[in-house]
Structure 1
Amino acid sequence: MEKGDWAEASRLFEHALSLRPDRVELQVQHGHALKEMGRTDEALASYASASGSDDGLYHLGLLRVQSGDRYGGVEAWARLLERTPDHDAALLALTRYGLAHLLPRTTMNRLRMEHKDSLLRHIGALSSLVKRAQTLLQEDISRYDEIRPNLMLPAPEVDTSARAQIIIDAGQSQPAFVRATLLSLIGCTHSAWTAVVVASSEICDHPVASLADIDTRIGFVLPGAELEPSQGVAQLYISAGTTLHADALTWVIGLLSTQAAACMTDWDYCVANWDEPVRHFDPQFHGVFDLDWLLTTDFPPPLVAVRPDLADLRPRGPEQRRELLASISMSAGDVAHIPIPLASVSRIPGRAEAARQLGQDALIWSLQPAGFPPVAGPVIHGKLQIVDRPGRTPLTCGGKEGKEAVRVIIPTRDCADLLEPMVESLIAHADKTDLLRLTIVDNRSQEEATARLLSRLGRKDGIDIVSFDRPFNWSEINNAVAEGTSEELLVFANNDVAMLTPRWDRHLRAQLGRSDVGIVGSRLLYPDGSVQHAGMLMGLADGSPRHETGKDADDITSRLDRVRAVPAVTGAFMGVRREVFQRLGGFDAGQFAIAYNDVDLCLAARAVGLKVLYDPGIELIHYESRTRGFNDNRLKIAWDQGELRSLYEKWGEALLRNPHVSPWWTPTAPFMSIEAGRRDRVLDWMTSTAMGRQG
C-alpha cells in the first residue's frame, strides 16, 4: 500500500481474508485500498463488515460523510461512541464536519456525563486564556456598542471651504427624526454645508422647522419645490432619522473631491434615551461596492453621496438612492465604499415606543429594517434585470437574452454511476439543447461499465467523447478541449455534479453577457441539501482559499443564496466566455495540475478588472471528490501544499486579501466577531481596493 498500488493491495487483502475471515483489521485495510481506487460502495461494505471493531466503525462513518451521507456517518459514529465514549478521532470528526448536533440526544447526554470531569478540568485551565484572547484579538458582535469608537479611523484632511449639500427626505417621516438628523449635521466637524429638508406641511409648520431660523445653513421646503444648487464637491442623500457621525462629511468630501464619482458607507442602528448614552447596534459591514448586492438587498444604504454633476436635487428615499448608485455604477464611474459606520438609522426612544397610541401614531423606525425589497423586472435601462424567487432572495442577471452556443467540458475517470446522471441532468434541464455541446474527456478509465456508457453517449447528438491517455492534469485537459472547440461560452464541470436548475443555460448566457462579468460560478449542495460551495473566501484562518459553506437556515447575512461578487469560485461548475478565457491565458497547467487552477483563473480575471460572480440561480448537487478522492493522507496533502505555495508565489498578498468582506470581521469568525484593534488591516483594505472600488 505504501507504493500506491491499490489494486495489488486489494488483491492481497482478499486472499488474506479468504484464509482468515475473522481478522477485522484486514477488512479495514481492504476498505482503505478500495476507497483509494474509487470503489466507494465496496469500501463501505468492507468497513461495515469490520464494524465490530472501533477502527472499522470509525472509517465507515468517515467514508459515509465524505460520500455525502452525513446522517449515515453520524449513525456509525454514534454507535462507536456508545461503545467507546473516549474515541478521540470520532469526537474530532464530528466537530470538524460540524455534525455533533445530529447525534441522538441520549448519546450526547451520555457523552456529557462520561466527559464531565475531564471537560471541567480543561475548561478551568483554558477559561482565563480564552478571555484574554477575546479581549486582545476580537470582540463578539454583541459588544459592538462598546467597541464602536475604536472603528472610527481619523478622517482625511480636506479643504475646510469645500461645500457639501445634504438633501433630507422627510416626506413620510416625523419631527423627532428630522430633529435627530439636523442635530447630527450641526455637530459635524466640517462646517461648510447646507441642508434642505423636503417635508410635508405638518413638519414645515412644526417647531422643528425653527432650526432653520437658528442655523441659516438649514432650509425646509415642500415636496416639488425647486431647490437651489450650491457650488460644492459633494451632494448627500439621506432620510430623516439617519444621523451622521461627526466626521462623516469630512470623509465624503475627501473621497469625492479626489477619487470617486459616488460613495456609500457602513452603517448601524441606534436608539437614544434621554438618561443614557446613545446605544448603537447591529452594524452593517460591507466589502467593496457590489452592484448585485445593491440591487437585491431589502435595505439600501441610508447614506449616498455623489458628485453634484451626476444627480439632480430632488429628495431620494431608499429605493431612489438604490437607483442612483446603480445608474452611476453602470455609467459614470466607480462607486466607493467607506468601511466605517458613519451613518446610523434611528429608532424612537424606549419610553416613546411604550406609550399609548393615538390614531396615526409615530413610526418606530426612521427606516424600517428589511422594508425595501427590490421589484422584479428590468433595471438600469434594461442592462440588468431582477428575477423574483418566492421565498428566496431575488436574483440579478443580465438583461440581454443570449443565443451563444455553450460547450461543457467534463473530464472523467470511471465513476459511470455519477457521469451518466450528470450528463442527463445537464441536457434535461437545458433551455436550448440545440446550442449545447458536451465534451467528455476519458482520462484512462478502467471499468467496463464506463466503456459501455461512453460508447452509448458517444452515439448521441451533441456529445463528443475524447481520450486523454496521459497522467491526470485537470488544467491541461480543459485547455486542450477549449482550444479545439469554437463555442462562444465555455463551462468547466466535474463528473460528480447533477444539475437542479431548469433552463440553467439561459441564465448562464444572461450573466456572461454582462460586460462587467468574467467568470460565473454556481451554488453547489451536498446531497443532504446543505451548501457545499457559495463562492470562496480568502485570507481566513490559515489564509488558504476556503469554500463558503453552511445551511440556509443559519445564514444570518443572506450570503449563501444571493448573487454577489466573490474572490473565486470552484471549477466544479464554472462558466466563462471563450474570449475571456483566451485573454487570461487559460488554466496554468504547468503549476496547477490538480488544485487551485480555478482560483488562479479567478485571480487573473479580477486582475484585469472583471468580476467573478457567485450565482445561486444555477444550482447543482455535488458528490464532492468522488473521482480523485480527498486530501486525507501525507502524499496528497504534500502535493496540495506545493500547488498552494505556487499560487502564493504567483499572486502574493492578493491571495490573502478578501476584498468582498469587511476588513473589520475577524478572519477566524467572519460575520460574528470584530477585530477593532486591527486598524492596519482596514487601512490596507482601503489601499488595495482603492477605497472599496476594486475587487
Structure 2
Amino acid sequence: MKMMHGIRSKLFRVMAPLARLKHRVTDIVFPTVDRFYRSVALRAHNFDEQWYLEQNPEVAGYPGPAWRHFLHEGLDTGLSARFFDPNWYFKQNPNLAGARIDGWSHYKQFGRREGRPARFLYINAEEQRSVRPEYRDWLAMYEDAETDIRPDMEAFADQAGLTAWFSVIWIVRPTDSPMELRASLDSLKHQAYSQFEGLLALPETLPEDNRRLIEDLILDDERLRIREVPDDWSREETANKLLDEASGDYVAVLDAQDVLGVGALFWVALALDDQPGAGLVYGDEDRLEITAGFRYDPEFRPRFNYELLLSHNYLGRFLVYRRELVESLGGWRNGADSSRDMALRIFEAEGREAFLHVPRLLNHKTMNIESETADPDVVREHFARTGRAGDVLVLEEAPQFNRVRFAIPQPWPLVSIIIPTRDRIELLSMAIDSVITRTTYANFEIIVVDNGSVEPESLAYFQTLEDSRIRVLRDERPFNFSALNNAAVRASRGDYVCLMNNDIEIITPDWIEEMLAFAAQPDVGCVGARLWYPDDTLQHGGVLLGFHGVAGHMHKFLKKGDIGYGGRAVVHQSLGAVTAAVLLVRKSIYEQVGGLDESLAVAFNDVDFCLKVRAAGYRNIYAPYAQMYHYESASRGTEDSPAKKARENSEINIIKSRYGDGLLDDDAYNPNLTLVREDMTLAFPPRVQSVRDRLMALRS
C-alpha cells in the first residue's frame, strides 16, 4: 500500500498540472499498478523524450522508456520534463482538422520543420506557453541531410579542383568505448572529401575486442594505417611522433570523442582554397549523445579574437594546422591546454592572418569529453616570449577561464573623464560622487560639459564642486553628443580620455585600472565597460554589428550570475565596437581619427567612432571587470517623438550608407547566430551559403 500511495502521489503531481492546463480537473484513482501505467502511457505519448534526455543526459543508459524514469526517479530528484499540448496545437492549426495523426506525432514529423508553434507543460522547470524553435528544430530546418549533400560536395571538390591533402592523426586510449570508436572512425572513413590519410595510434594495452573492431572498420581502406604506440606516451608525444610520417600539407589530431560531420574536411579544403596561406583552421562544434543520437549545445565561434584566446581555448577541438608550420614550431607541447599553447605560438609566428574560421558544424564532441580549464601558465609563457608585462588572474565568475590584467604605465597617466549633462543634477551628482568616492585610481580629472542647464539647483550644484580635479565647461549649443565631447577632449589635459554618460554609477573601484590596462597596449583602441541596469540585468556587454541592421548590445538583459553564450559576457575580447556610455581611449587615437562624427548627434556616433579606430589598425576591447550601473537615457528620455524618430532614422541611414553590408559580417560574431535579438540565440535562417548554392554559382 505504501508503494501505491507513492505512485498515486507522483501521478497527482504530474497529472494535476496537465488537467489545469486543459481548464478542468479530473480525480483519477488506479486500483492496480498496471492500470496506472496504462493511463500514464496515454500521456506518455505526449512526453518529450528527446528534450528530457537533452536536459538530463545521465538518463541515457536507463533500461526503459524515459517517461517511466521520470515518474519513478526524475520527478523525486527534481529533473525537468515537458509534455506536448495537442489540443492547443490543433487549435492553432485548424487546417489539421481531420488529420489521421495525433498532434505530437504531426509536430515531430512535420510541424517542427514547418515552423508551427507549439505549447508544452514544463514540470520542475519554468512553464513556457509557447516555445522558440530549439537547436534540433534548427538542425532539421537548415542542416542538409548527409546523404543529400555528399554528392554536391564531391561534385564541387572535383569541379573546383580542390587540392588540399590532409593527414588525420587519430589517437585511441585503452578506456575508449566500442561505441565511441565506431562512431568516430566511421565519421573519418565516410568523409565526402576523400583526399586524406589516417594515422591511427593504438596503445599497446588496447582491449583486443576494440582492436579487432578497428581493424574490421578499416579493412580495404588503404588511406587508414595503424601505428602502435607505448601506453605511457602523452597525446602530444603521440601526435608529434606521427607527425614525422605524415604526408599531408595539413594535419589534424582527433580522439575517439570526436565525431566529424560528413563535410568537415570538405569545408576546410574549400576554405583553404580561398585562403591557402592559413596556418590554423577551426570551425564550429556541438555535442553528441551517441546512445540516444541527439545533438545539443552548439558552439558557434567568432573569427580570430586574441583577447578571447587569452581567456581560454575558444577554437575548439577539431583544429587543422599547416604541417610545416607545426614542424617549424617544434610540435605540440605536453599539457592539458596544449592546443591553446600552439595557437598562441602560431600567433607569435604569423599573426592573426594565420587563423581561418569556418562557420560550419565540423565536429560533434561526445558527452565523455570533460570541460577544459584554461591553464594560466600558457598565457604567462606567451607573455614572457613576447615581452608583454601582465598578470593572469582567477576569473571568479567562471574559474574555467583566465583573466588577464596588463601592466599599467608608470607613472600613472592622467585620465580625463568627460561627462556631458543638462540639469538632472540627481543623476550627475550620483555619477560624480561615485567616481570621486569609489575610484582607486588617483590620477584623473573630471570635465563636466554643461549643455545649457537652467534649473537653479543645477547652477547651485556646479558652484559646490570645489574639488580641484573637477572643471565645468559651459556649452549652450543645441544638444549634440559628438560635438560636446569633441570640444571637451580639446580642452582636456590627460593622455587618455574617458567618455562617460551622466547617468552612470561606479560599481568596481578599480575600473580605471581595468580599462587602462587594455587601453595602454599599443595595438588597442577603444575599451568599453560592463554596464548593468538598476535591476541587475545587463545593459552593455559589448557591441556587435548587424543587430537590427546596424548594431546592438551583446547579451542585453542577461541576468547577473549568467556568464552568457560561451562565457562571453564575462571574458575580455575584441569587438567591433563598445558603447560610449563609458569608453576609454588614448587621446592621440581620438585625435588621429577625428573624434566623434558631429553629423551623428545622438545615436551610433560611438559605433562609427569605434569602426574608424578599428580601420586605423587598433582593436576595440570589452573589459567586463570594469562595472557600472547605467540608468540608460534617464536624462534624455526615449526616442518617441516624430522629430527624434526622424533624427534617429537619419543617423541609421548614415551608418548603413557608410559601412554597407560589412555591418552584417562582424568578425566577433557568427552567421549562425541571430541578428534579430540581442541574446546570441540561433539565426532562423543562418547567413551561410549552402554547398548546393556554391556549386550552382560555380557552374554558372
1:431-460, Cα deviation, whole Å (9 max, x unpaired)? 431x22221112111233323332332x32
1:477 maps to what in 2? 484
Work out whether 1:281 is the aligned partner of 2:321.
Answer: no
2:594 equivalent to 1:579: no
Whether contact under 8 Å (1:150, 1:676) holds in the other structure is: no
Amino acid at match of 1:643: E
1:490 paired residue number: 497
Indicate which of 394, 397, 401 corresponds to 2:408.
401
Q: Find the counterpart in structure 1 of residue 193 from structure 2.
A: 190
- Structure 2 Cα separation of the partners of residues 269 and 133 of structure 1: 21
Q: CA deviation at 1:583?
A: 2.5
Distance 1:419 1:294 in 2: 38
Residue of 650, 668, 678 corresponding to 1:660? 668
Q: 2:326 maps to which residue? A: 311
Aligned match of 2:439 in 386, 407, 430?
Answer: 430
| Counterpart residue number, 2:471 | 464
* Contact 1:168–1:238 under 8 Å retained in 2: yes
Distance 2:279 2:692 in 1: 21
CA distance in 1, matches of 2:334, 2:256: 11
**SS of residue matched to 1:305:** strand
The amino acid of 1:623's aligned partner reads: Y
**For residues 372 and 552 of structure 2, what CA distance do their matches in structure 1 show?**
35
Of residues 226-235 and 211-220 in structure 1, the stretch that sits farther from structure 2 once superposed is: 211-220
CA deviation after TM superposition for structure 1 residue 229, in Å: 4.4
Does structure 1 residue 241 correspond to structure 2 residue 254?
Answer: no
CA contact (8 A) 2:439 2:511 kept: yes
Match for 2:365 among 321, 345, 351?
Answer: 345
What residue identity is the alignment partner of 1:304? L
Q: Residue 549 of structure 1 aligns with which residue?
A: 556
Following the alignment from structure 1 to structure 2, what is the Cα–Cα distance between the partners of residues 655 and 127?
41
2:192 counterpart SS class = coil
Encode CA deviations 1:229-269: one digit per residue, 9 max, x unaligned: 43432121333321222332233244346142212111112
Equivalent residue number for residue 116 of structure 1:
none
Alpha-carbon distance between aligned partners in 2 of 1:574 and 1:151, rounded to the nearest angstrom? 46
Matches of 1:148 and 1:318 in 2, distance apart? 35
For residues 453 and 573 of structure 1, do their structure 2 counterparts lie closer, same or farther at Cα, with a shift above 3 Å needed?
same
* Residues 543, 135 of structure 1: alpha-carbon distance in 2 compared, 3 angstrom cutoff: farther
- Give 1:207's aligned residue: 211
Q: Which amino acid aligns with 1:339?
A: P
Look up the match of 2:425: 416
Offset, 1:576: 1.5
Q: 1:409/1:677 Cα in 2 relative to 1: closer, same or farther (>3 Å)? A: closer
Q: TM-score with structure 2 length normalisation?
A: 0.68
Correspondent of 1:514 among 521, 524, 530: 521
1:174 aligns with 2:176: yes
Distance apart, 1:562 and its partner CA: 2.9
Conserved? CA contact 1:664–1:682, under 8 Å: no
Quickly say closer, same or farther: Cα 1:317–1:196, change in 2 above 3 A.
farther
What TM-score, normalized by structure 1, do the two folds share?
0.69
- Give me the whole-angstrom Cα distance separating, in 2, the residues matched to 1:468 and 1:627: 17
**Distance (Å, rounded) in 1 between the aligned partners of 2:188 and 2:623:** 40
Residue in structure 2 matching 1:389, options 370, 395, 405: 395
What SS does the aligned partner of 2:206 have? Answer: helix
The Cα shift of 1:575 comes to: 1.3
Percentage identity across aligned positions? 24
Structural mapping, 1:555-574, within 5 Å: 557=565, 558-574=567-583
Q: Which residue of 1 aligns with 2:637?
A: 629
Distance 2:174 2:676 in 1: 42
SS of match in other structure, 1:150:
coil
Equivalents in 1 of 2:674, 2:572: separation in Å? 23
Give deviations 1:462-488, integer Å, cap 9, x for gaps: 222222132222111211222233422
Q: Is the CA contact 2:516–2:584 (under 8 Å) kept in the aligned structure 1?
A: no
Residue pair 2:204, 2:228 contacting (<8 A) in 1 also: no
Is the partner of 1:624 in helix, strand or coil? Answer: coil
Deviation at 1:308, TM superposition (A): 1.6
Corresponding position of 1:372: 373
SS in 2 for 1:506: helix
Aligned to 2:510: 503
The Cα shift of 1:555 comes to 5.9
Give secondary structure in 2 for the equivalent of 1:675: coil
Q: 1:197 Cα shift?
A: 4.4
Any gaps of 5 or more consecutive residues in structure 1?
Answer: 1-119, 348-364, 686-695
Q: 1:398 to 1:610 in 2, by over 3 A?
A: farther
Q: CA deviation at 1:617?
A: 0.9
Alpha-carbon distance in structure 1 between the residues aligned to 2:690 and 2:662: 13
Provide the rounded CA distance (Å) in 2 between the counterparts of 1:684 and 1:656.
20
The equivalent position to 1:146 in structure 2, one of 119, 140, 145, is 140
Partner amino acid, structure 2, of 1:467:
R
RMSD: 3.7
Structure 2 unaligned spans of 5+: 1-86, 97-106, 117-131, 695-700
Task: Kindly provide the CA deviation profile for residues 149-202 of structure 1, in whole angstroms up to 9, marking residues without a partner as x.
Answer: 329886563766643222344458525344543332222233343334456432
How far did residue 512 of structure 1 move?
A: 1.3
Q: 1:194 and 1:416, CA in 2 relative to 1: closer, same or farther beyond 3 A?
A: same
Residue 531 (1) aligns with residue 538 (2): yes
- CA distance in 2: counterparts of 1:344 and 1:238, whole angstroms: 11
Q: Indicate the SS of the match to 1:481.
A: helix
* C-alpha deviation, 1:620, in angstroms: 0.3
CA distance in 2, matches of 1:256, 1:285: 20
In 2 relative to 1, CA 269–171 (structure 1 residues): closer, same or farther, beyond 3 Å?
Answer: same
- Hey, what does 1:592 align to over in structure 2? 600
What code does the residue aligned with 2:198 have?
A
The equivalent of 1:117 in structure 2 is: none
Note closer, same or farther for the CA distance 1:682–1:124 as it changes in structure 2 (3 Å cut).
Answer: farther
Flag the 1:166–1:314 CA change in 2: closer, same or farther, 3 A.
farther
Q: 1:480 to 1:204 in 2, by over 3 A?
A: farther
CA distance in 1, matches of 2:652, 2:168: 49
Contact 2:564 2:570 in 1 (8 A): no
What is the identity, as a one-letter code, of the residue corresponding to 1:497?
I
CA deviation string 1:70-126 (max 9, x = no partner):
xxxxxxxxxxxxxxxxxxxxxxxxxxxxxxxxxxxxxxxxxxxxxxxxxx9999568
Are the aligned partners of 1:411 and 1:494 in contact in 2 as well (CA < 8 Å)?
yes
1:595 Cα deviation after fit: 1.7
Q: Distance in 2 between matches of 1:127 and 1:423?
A: 60
8 Å Cα contact 2:174/2:207 also seen in 1: no
Q: Match of 2:114, as an amino acid?
A: T
Distance apart, 1:615 and its partner CA: 2.0
Mark the CA change 1:229 to 1:486 in structure 2 (over 3 Å): closer, same or farther.
farther
Corresponding residue number in structure 2 for 1:108: none
| Counterpart contact for 2:415–2:496, Cα < 8 Å | yes
Shift of 1:343: 0.8
Aligned 8 A contact 1:535 1:569 in 2: yes
Query: Is contact 2:162–2:269 with CA below 8 Å preserved after alignment?
Result: no
Closer, same or farther in 2 for the Cα pair 1:529/1:272, shift >3 Å?
A: closer
1:620 pairs with one of 628, 631, 652: 628
1:536 CA drift (Å) = 2.6
Cα deviation, residue 559, structure 1 = 3.4
1:43 aligned residue: none
1:416-439 residue CA offsets vs partner (Å, 9 max, x unmatched): 222223123223343431x22221
Contact 1:516 1:611 in 2 (8 A): yes
Per the alignment, in what secondary structure is the counterpart of residue 581 of structure 1? helix
- Say which SS state the counterpart of residue 219 (structure 1) adopts: strand
